[in-house]
Amino acid sequence: MSKFEELVAQLESEVDSKIRDAIARLGDLGDSRAVPYLLKKLETVKDEELIETILWTLSRIGSSEILIKLLQNSNKKIVLEALDALGRRMSRERVEAIIPFLKHPDSEIRALATWALGKIRADKTYDLLVTLLKKDKEPSVRANAAWAIGKYEKIEAHPVLKRALEQETDETVRYNLEDAISRLQEVRERSQEGIKVTVYECPKKEAHCSERDIKVEQLADQLIKIEIKSCSSCLSAKICQVNLIKKVE
């Protein structure tokens, strides 16, 4: 009997600790053949720790399609764990399966769906998260929406977050709003500074070159700046360095 077969057989043990051990080790094997056995086990177990172990293993070796199917389960614990796993996978192709849960009557499920979309950061879900921040009555949902909006690093979100902060009374939501605003301020500063890349440097550059009379010229438009450093007195080469400075969008 192979190790895989031994572990599958161990799933039928009456001792929970042995079952948990088998589930975890099946995950370590990374063998997707274990998926149907784990799904079958999931149908019968009631213990939350076992459910969590099964779902953790499924998130490691199962496909995203399997996790999406689990979102339709009537067990709230299973739905929460599936949302968590999909968020951690950060697959933008799976957001359509998560979006409906933003309107789920259970606030814990709405909050975790909001977190998952913040991890994925698909453009199509940005406006939905802004709506949650403005309108959801549950602080945990608004807190996750504030965090998620900050993860998008969109400069245009700054006034939205500032306005929400002025109206918010919940301390956790306010903390996440302030953190998101701080993140956007850093993004704005990076945008103003730009990203500098040296695309050419004189191959004959020597230590004493820095002592020469270096001339710096710049050409720029709305998107990029070209910086050219040159030295007319140099006997080796006239152009010392060329830098591109691209603005961060």
Name which residue leads in pLDDT, 213 or 69.
69
Range 15-23 average pLDDT: 93
Range 112-128 average pLDDT: 95
Angle of helix 76-89 relative to helix 107-120, nearest 10 degrees?
A: 10
Range 82-105 average pLDDT: 93
Percent of the chain beyond pLDDT 70?
92
Rounded-to-integer distance, Cα 151 and Cα 208, Å:
46
Q: Is the pLDDT of residue 207 over 70?
A: no
User: What integer pLDDT is reported at residue 209 of this predicted model?
Assistant: 62
Sequence-distant (6+) residues with CB within 8 A of 154 are: 126, 184
Range 63-88 average pLDDT: 94
Percent of the chain beyond pLDDT 90?
65
Q: What is the DSSP letter of 247?
A: P
User: What integer pLDDT is reported at residue 230 of this predicted model?
Assistant: 86
Name which residue leads in pLDDT, 189 or 103.
103
User: What integer pLDDT is reported at residue 233 of this predicted model?
Assistant: 75
Rounded-to-integer distance, Cα 238 and Cα 59, Å:
58
Q: What are phi and psi of 9, to 5 degrees?
A: -65, -35
Q: Largest alpha-carbon pair distance within the chain?
A: 86
